[in-house]
Structure 1
């Protein structure tokens, strides 16, 4: 079950439309590597140690192959390869390896990640700020909650995700960067949205 809350957000592509309501997915649980390994072991009949060992070795080997310039195809999981971020030079002759500033991992999902919308179930819930304000009111014995004040309260990246956005080549929507608990993505056209993540666990 994917829980989501709605937010009014400005439309950077079509500002004349003003603010529109969009969905942000909420992270229900941050699953540790240990829990994920146990989940795989329970489903596959393998020991937890074998699963952990295979996954750890896979990560080590994946990095090794990527640094050798290989594109790795992991079937249902998807494909991994690298891209480079670099500072521009005046000419190709003047460009050197020193201009390269970052090695980025590119991932394209495999078939198991296709058509997630048709397989997902959704539940509307209150925003993280509203949940926190309600809990605080209960603890302090208050009978009302000032939601507007709660929305204006500053939040950290860890509480609400990074919120970085940029136009997508798929249309008028935005894609946010992630935080350790989940990024925030919110569509910005009137016809649809890309699911985002309100990463705060509350």
Structure 2
């Protein structure tokens, strides 16, 4: 179950408009590689240490492939790809590595992950 709480926000397009409350998802903690390795090892015949090693290798290889400009497909989870934000230039010839302001990751969830969002249950907490 995902916990939400009300969060007051103003309208950036109309600073004179009355503030409204919006739902904000609240994290219920963090799960690290060690815990993931433990959980996976309990669902199959592979040892926890082997699962951990595979997850670390996966992490390393994902970063290497992204650095090479590739899209990393993670099966039903989705795809990862590097994206950039840059300065606008008048002519195409002026666009270069120097116009890139920063890089970021784009994640496009797979169908199963997107479908999971349609069945998520929510509970509200007050501040």
- Taking structure 1 as the reference length, the TM-score comes to 0.53
User: By how many angstroms is 1:108 displaced?
Assistant: 0.5
C-alpha separation between the residues in 2 aligned to 1:17 and 1:116? 35
Question: Which residue number corresponds to residue 77 of structure 1?
Answer: 77
Aligned to 2:11: 11
Per-residue CA deviation, residues 23-48 of structure 1 (Å, 9 max, x unaligned), is 11211122222122212222334211
Q: Give the equivalent residue in structure 1 for 2:59.
A: 59
RMSD: 2.5
Residues 37 and 14 of structure 1, relative CA distance in 2, 3 Å threshold: farther
What is the SS of the residue equivalent to 1:76?
helix
Matches within 5 A, 1:1-202: 1-12=1-12, 18-89=18-89, 91-127=91-127
Query: Structure 1 or 2: larger strand share?
Result: 2
**Residue segments in structure 2 that go unaligned for 5+ positions in a row:** none
TM (norm. structure 2) is: 0.78
Q: Following TM superposition, by how much is the alpha carbon of 1:110 offset from its aligned partner in structure 2, in angstroms?
A: 0.9
Cα distance between partner residues in 1 of 2:12 and 2:115? 27
Q: Extract unaligned runs of 5+ from structure 1.
A: 128-202
Label 1:119 to 1:44 Cα distance change in 2 as closer, same or farther (>3 A): farther
1:115 Cα shift?
2.8
3-state secondary structure, aligned to 2:38 = helix
